[in-house]
Structure 1
Amino acid sequence: MENQNISDIIESYLKQILADSQQVEIRRAEIANQFNVVPSQINYVIKTRFTIQDGYVVESKRGGGGYIRIEKVKLLDNLDFIDSLVTAVGDQITRHDGLAVIRSLFEAGAINRRESNIILAAIDKTAINTGNVEVDERLRAQILISILNHLRYES
């Protein structure tokens, strides 16, 4: 654990809780106190490590009785999740975020290892290399959205 930073440790802690249940409801201040960090550190971990691309839906309520709910969703059981994933991909997506989408699809069982590798090859920087990063990211998004839409209607 000595090579892990505090964000890794907090992420690991929350994922351990999620391993036992589909969702966790936390109070940001309580977790911050537990790990002796500022509450914004908890926001950072949740915003960067529990994204829709990674298969998580995050909901929060602010105020005195506020909470942050993190839910691990199964892709094929939830068409709203696929819709959210399409929205998250948007008009353009970085290679790194594209990899997270594919990892999420694989972990959810929506695609197998071979299919993952084929999609990875299709969105890799060696396959999409127009010389213009913005155009590359737009092409990558179009490919991923096409795949997601296809998965939506596959049984």
Structure 2
Amino acid sequence: MLRNITDLIEHYLKTMLTRSGDSLLEIKRSELAKQFQCVPSQINYVIRTRFTVEKGYMVESKRGGGGYIRIQKVEAHDDVALFDHLSQLVGEKIDQQTAENIVVRLLEEKAITRREANMMLSALDRTHFKLSVAHRDHIRANLLKAMLQVLMYE
């Protein structure tokens, strides 16, 4: 069930990507804003939060009169490449939302089971870390990278 304008825009863009038969979609921010009767910054918000690298998208944006947004769905060649790519994205620290995005992507790509995803999400949850944010994000990154390594060489 789509709840709000953000969900509607995300759904529309993902549908357009699927229908194009290509992994690339080029849109004009102003035209999309007009279509959804919203401000262009709402489009920016959807792109910035729903079409991230950890969710499997590359976004290129050009502002100005002839500006556009290109959204490309990137596919890993196999699960090992996906685990490796995501492990590199983690870095030294990672916030909970970004970590959750990575786990959701693994589930969507069918690289992990729902049970594995639930265990990973539980282990990465901030409520288990009674530390400062900086320490919590550092420990979360180490945990997530360790999980990805185990999954990669299973």
TM bucket (normalised to shorter chain) is: 0.7 to 0.9
Partner of 2:8: 9
Cα displacement (A) at 1:92: 1.9
The CA deviation string for residues 87-121 of structure 1, in whole angstroms up to 9 with x for no partner, is 54332222222111100011112222232233223
Distance 2:63 2:142 in 1: 35
The CA deviation string for residues 50-100 of structure 1, in whole angstroms up to 9 with x for no partner, is 1112222112234444321112222344948953x4454332222222111
Distance 1:109 1:90 in 2: 23
Sequence identity, in percent? 47
Kept in 1: contact 2:87–2:145 (CA 8 A)? yes
Aligned partner of 2:103: which letter? I
The CA deviation string for residues 22-60 of structure 1, in whole angstroms up to 9 with x for no partner, is 331111111111112222221111001111122221122
Partner of 1:49: 50
Kept in 2: contact 1:93–1:141 (CA 8 A)? yes
Give the aligned CA root-mean-square deviation in angstroms. 2.8
Over 3 Å counting, the alpha-carbon distance change for 1:73 and 1:82 in structure 2 is farther
Partner of 2:114: 113
Instruction: Give TM-score scaled by structure 1 length.
Output: 0.78
Partner of 2:17: 18
Equivalent residue runs for 1:1-150 within 5 Å: 4-20=3-19, 21=21, 22-77=23-78, 79=81, 82-83=84-85, 85-86=86-87, 88-126=89-127, 128-149=128-149
Distance 1:97 1:132 in 2: 18
Count of aligned pairs between the two proteins: 151
Distance 1:121 1:93 in 2: 15
Over 3 Å counting, the alpha-carbon distance change for 1:9 and 1:97 in structure 2 is same
Instruction: Give TM-score scaled by structure 2 length.
Output: 0.78
Kept in 2: contact 1:61–1:68 (CA 8 A)? yes
Cα displacement (A) at 1:134: 2.1
Aligned partner of 1:13: which letter? Y
Over 3 Å counting, the alpha-carbon distance change for 1:76 and 1:118 in structure 2 is farther
